[in-house]
Amino acid sequence: MAGLMAGFGNFTHAVVRAIPASFAKEALRTNCLEVDLVKAQREHEHYVGVLKHKLGLQVLELPADESLPDCVFVEDAAVVCGDTALITRPGAASRRNETDAMKKALTELSLNVVEMDDETATLDGGDVLFTGREFFVGLSKRTNQRGAEILADAFKDYAVSTVPVLDGLHLKSFCSMAGPGLIVIGSSEPAQRALKIMQQMSDHRYDKLTVPDDLAANCVYMNLPSKGHVLLHCTPEEYPESAKVFEKLKDHMLIPVSNSEKVKVDGALTCCSVLINKRAEI
């Protein structure tokens, strides 16, 4: 599989967005935890710094918008694969205007921008897992069947399968890719059940890396020319047992990145960037 997926994880650009002051009090959340705004902004600056300076990506930084407290979570506003960018229709109505700045940014990067303008459709990028061979789309509180159908229409070269997300906000709240053909999955029963569904629906075989903590299963994988396999993952301070599991990936450059504040509003590592592989002319 690795040979057939040689381009999987190749990225040259990233789109990120700053955290507004409104984030601490007004960002959507499924709990009542208090967010330290300054710490959240510091964590995010470190995350962006890793992409830009440690990994050498071209990073397009969009300004914060105080009227959009969740706007740092850019992943939900677009799904990019190859030269095509699907501008989503987020499931939370308060987040719909986040797509305006994302559409502008991806248009400026000369991507083929497709808009989801069916008002019955909802899709958050956090529900979209691209494996390099196919898409899995979580049907959740934020994403519906029509949203999945429009994604399938936008990316016709790939099979698209839907997975019920009964616990957690998004599909990628408990899984992500850690390499070609390698799915990181949380150990909870709902996470394992979702993985079983994905395996049953797929024509491809995937290896799995199981971590004790569902939230730690959300990682950012890249395969960069000068770095090889790279994985941004949880810190030992946040999830000590899960961090030990990642140490098994001896061929990866492992980069622990703190997410202790954004996780309080259901944010994860993949949420904070849209990764793009652009041709040399950009």
List active site positions. Answer: 170, 271
205 marked among binding-site residues: no
For residue 104, how many C-alpha atoms fall within 13 Å in the half-sphere facing its CB? 8
Instruction: Enter the tokens of residue 195.
Output: 């993985």
193 marked among binding-site residues: no
Instruction: Enter the tokens of residue 42.
Output: 């510091």
121 Cα distance to chain centroid: 20
Per the CB < 8 A criterion, the answer to whether 232 and 254 are in contact is no
96 marked among binding-site residues: no
42 marked among binding-site residues: no
What amino acid occupies position 71? Answer: C
d(CA 234, CA 218): 8
75 marked among binding-site residues: yes
Residue identified by tokens 């899709």 is 123
189 marked among binding-site residues: no
Nearest to 91 by CA among 164, 135, 136, 147: 147
Residue identified by tokens 């967005």 is 17
Chain length of the chain:
282
70 marked among binding-site residues: yes
Nearest to 223 by CA among 170, 268, 178: 178
d(CA 101, CA 82): 20
Query: Annotated binding residues, as ranges?
Result: 28, 70, 75-76, 95, 142, 265
- Tell me the binding residues for substrate: 28, 70, 75-76, 95, 142, 265
